[in-house]
């Protein structure tokens, strides 16, 4: 599963006025965007996420500051460092994710393929391993 996780570089335009980054659903990312949220104000020692999703796919972009994203498929793990506002990481469904090591100015934007549904979340790692071993 984690072999499907990948960094995405988004188009950016800029001049003396600043920069503009463009992200379009079903063009720059592989799904329609149905939900957008962002995480900010997390301390460096806080770990966010700690779950997998049955249906939802995600793209995570640090639009300010930095953070690390650890992905896990029950067999392999990989860590991504998000440190540029025009780079995101695509996370397919059924990938366990931990977001951590937030800089003080971190704003982590999350684009999701599904509306929120608590029932599609796997929040217990042992249950996640059971699902992945089926």
The residues assigned a catalytic role are 51
CB neighbours of 42 closer than 8 A, spacing ≥ 6? 48, 102, 106
Distance set, CA 97 to CA 3, 22, 124 (Å):
14, 25, 12
Q: Which two tokens stand for residue 30?
A: 């592989």
Angle at 101 between CA 95 and CA 107, to 5 degrees: 85
Are 42 and 106 in contact by the 8 Å Cβ rule? The answer is yes
């Amino acid at each position: 599963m984690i072999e499907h996780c990948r960094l995405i570089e988004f188009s950016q335009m800029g001049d003396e006025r600043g920069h503009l980054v463009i992200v379009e659903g079903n063009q720059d990312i592989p799904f329609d965007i149905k939900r957008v949220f962002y995480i900010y104000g997390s301390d460096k020692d806080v770990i966010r996420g700690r779950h997998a999703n049955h249906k939802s796919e995600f793209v995570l972009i640090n639009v300010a500051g930095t953070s690390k994203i650890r992905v896990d498929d029950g067999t392999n793990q990989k860590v991504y460092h998000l440190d540029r506002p025009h780079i995101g990481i695509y996370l397919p469904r059924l990938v366990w994710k931990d977001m951590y090591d937030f800089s003080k100015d971190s704003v982590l934007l999350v684009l999701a393929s599904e509306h929120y549904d608590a029932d599609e979340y796997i929040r217990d790692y042992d249950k996640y391993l059971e699902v992945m071993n089926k």
